[in-house]
Chains A and B, each alone.
Chain A
Amino acid sequence: MTRSRARVIVEEAAVAERVAAVLDVADFERNDERNDERSDVTIVSHGRLDQAGDSTGPMVVLCKGTGRRAALELIASKALRYMVPVDDRLEDALLTILGKLAGADLFGLDRYVRHGGLLRTWTAEDSQAKARILREIGARAQRLGCPQLIADLFLSAIDEMAINAIERHIRAQLGPIEIVAAAEVGRFAVAVRDRVGQLRPEHVLGSLVRGGAQKAAGMALDASSAQLGFRIMFDTLSTLAINVERGRRTEVIGVIDLGKSLREYRDTVPGFGCFVNETPE
């Protein structure tokens, strides 16, 4: 099997070094000098995006110091599918995305809590079950040392992840959805899984585009609330990852990184990944 190839367009030498180390571990070959040949992935700093226009393959954007709002605007305006914040978790986040892009299984929380473990799995078929699970997740967050308001933000995101999935399951008469929690030191993650596999990246990114319009002009009374739901996820999570096996299943993963003040948390560049496996139907 040939090694996957990555083109790297990164301005800061220190960051470039860190990226090179990750490429080694992920068994990627660098492809910088041969831009006429196909790259399997391009890794680019957000400040160098204009140089990546001729790149082939998926583009992973490394984002540093812009704040959350500008990072989300960038995702919306460029329809970015993969963003990695340049912070002390860069290596893990990049390794996760590269592994999935190179063909590893897209699904699972283990790639987001590499140094921790599974806490609990629940099933939810309706709003009552969801409310009970959210209470349990809130209590877990507190035990992990998560400040109350950040825990509330996390629960808001999980509420949106879950209600979307429950509604899809009710429509398709598929029974309960699955909710899974995992943790490691300084990190708490929850996955919501359905067996529908309908979610489309355009819809997820559309929530950011439409979000700007609703902020300025208001929400139409007949608008769908689902896009507002994704807007909430983007605004309240440290990392949002969406895995779709078209026609089969969806997994939405929300992660919070602990140890920040609310203000810092709200201003942090989020990690984002939207992975779609198109094959089955």
Chain B
Amino acid sequence: MLERLIEKRPDGRTTVMLSGFIDETADLEALLGDVEGEIALDLSAVQRINSIGAHRWIITLARLTAHRRVTVEAVPYSVGMQANYVANFFARAEVLSCLAPYACATCETSTNLLIHRDEVSLRAPTRWCKRCKNELVFDELDGYLDFLVRNRS
């Protein structure tokens, strides 16, 4: 099931936080169709997306972004994976940030950290372990952040 939480920002934009699963049961038109004006989509609580959900997502985003500004924030790992398969995954939306996988070799822990598209050069930005203060390893292939930087203006 996919749910939404809507919040009006002081700048007039509307934040829509989606949580749950973008799959064959998700009614994206019902969740996003009635939102007016500029939209900031927060995807941090999306747990999984499947191919049927991705297909619906692409159709909905194409319509949603046709005549207004839409930003996407905190793209989780499972959505980022799929976004890399399809060039028009976010249509004309601006993808601002994602949750990227990092690992600490010392503590043997993994964590998802928010990174902003402006922090990404050829490589993932450097992050440090909160516990042991050592540098974390970016725990994905180099091409993983393509979806974050491919439409960067």
Interfacial residues, chain A to chain B (CB-CB below 8 A): 69, 127, 131, 147-149, 152-153, 155-156, 159-160, 163, 211, 214-219, 221, 223, 225-226, 228-229, 231-232, 235-236, 261-263, 266-267
| A218-B88 contact in complex given A127-B23, A262-B139, C-beta closer than 8 Å | yes
Q: Is B81 an interface residue (CB 8 A)?
A: yes
Q: Please indicate the chain B residues that have their CB under 8 angstroms from the CB of A235 in the complex.
A: 81
B78 touches A219 (CB 8 A): no
Q: How far is the CB of B147 from chain A (nearest CB, A)?
A: 10
Determine if A156 and B77 form an interchain contact, defined as CB atoms under 8 angstroms apart.
no
Q: Are B52 and A149 in contact (CB under 8 A)?
A: no
In the complex, chain B residues 74-104 whose Cβ is within 8 Å of any chain A Cβ: 77-78, 81-82, 84-89, 101, 103
User: 29 A-B pairs, CB-CB below 8 angstroms?
Assistant: A149-B77, A149-B110, A152-B47, A152-B77, A152-B78, A153-B81, A163-B23, A163-B50, A163-B51, A214-B87, A215-B86, A217-B87, A218-B86, A219-B55, A219-B58, A219-B86, A225-B51, A225-B52, A225-B54, A228-B51, A228-B85, A236-B81, A261-B137, A262-B103, A262-B140, A263-B103, A263-B138, A263-B139, A267-B141
Q: Given A215-B87, A228-B51, are A156 and B78 neighbors across the interface (CB < 8 Å)?
A: yes
A229 to B55, CA, bound (A): 11
Closest residue of chain B to A131 (Cβ to Cβ) is B21
Q: How would residues 20 to 32 of chain B score, 1 for a CB under 8 Å from any chain A CB and 0 otherwise?
A: 0101110000000
Instruction: Kindly state the separation between the CA atoms of A68 and B31 in the bound complex, as whole angstroms.
Output: 37
Q: Which residues of B contact A159 (CB under 8 A)?
A: 23, 48, 50
| Closest A residue, CB atoms, query B47 | A152
B149 CB-CB contact with A under 8 Å = no
Return chain B residues, CB-CB under 8 Å to A131.
21, 25
* Residue B62 at the chain A interface, CB threshold 8 Å: yes
Which A residues touch B81, using CB under 8 A?
153, 156, 232, 235-236
Q: A149-B139, A261-B139 are in contact. List 5 more A-B contacts (CB 8 A).
A: A163-B52, A218-B86, A219-B86, A232-B81, A262-B101
A153-B81, A263-B140, A263-B141 known; A225+B103 contact, CB < 8 A? no
| Closest CB in chain B relative to A225 CB, distance in Å | 4
Give the shortest distance, in Å, between B135 (CB) and chain A (any CB).
15
Q: Which residue of A lies closest to B52 (CB)?
A: A225
- Cβ-based interface call for B45 (8 A): no
By the criterion CB–CB under 8 Å, are B51 and A223 in contact?
Answer: no
Which residues from B are CB-within-8-Å of A160? 50-51
Chain A proximity of B85: nearest CB distance (Å)? 6
A155 near B59: Cβ-Cβ < 8 Å: no
B88 touches A229 (CB 8 A): no
* B48 & A156 in contact (Cβ 8 Å cutoff): yes
A221–B140 touching, CB < 8 Å: no
Closest CB of chain B to A121's CB: distance in Å?
Answer: 22
- CA gap between A215 and B82 in the complex, in Å: 10
The minimal Cβ–Cβ distance linking B96 to chain A, given in whole angstroms, is: 21
Which of A218, A219, A226 is packed against the most chain B CB atoms within 10 Å? A219
Find out whether the CB atom of B62 lies under 8 angstroms from the CB atom of A221. yes
- B48 and A228 contact, CB distance less than 8 A: no
For B50, what are the chain A residues with a Cβ–Cβ distance below 8 Å?
Answer: 156, 159-160, 163, 229, 232
* Known A152-B78, A156-B78, A214-B87: A261·B51 in contact at CB below 8 Å: no
Residues of B contacting A211 with CB < 8 Å?
Answer: 85
What distance in Å separates the Cβ of B146 from its nearest Cβ neighbour in chain A?
9
Query: Which A residues touch B24, using CB under 8 A?
Result: 127, 163
Select from chain A the residue with minimum beta-carbon distance to B146: A215
Contacts of A229 in B (CB 8 A): 50-51
Contact of B85 among A152, A215, A226, A266 (CB under 8 A): A215
B residues less than 8 Å from A69 (CB atoms): 141, 143
List chain B residues, Cβ under 8 A from A217. Answer: 87
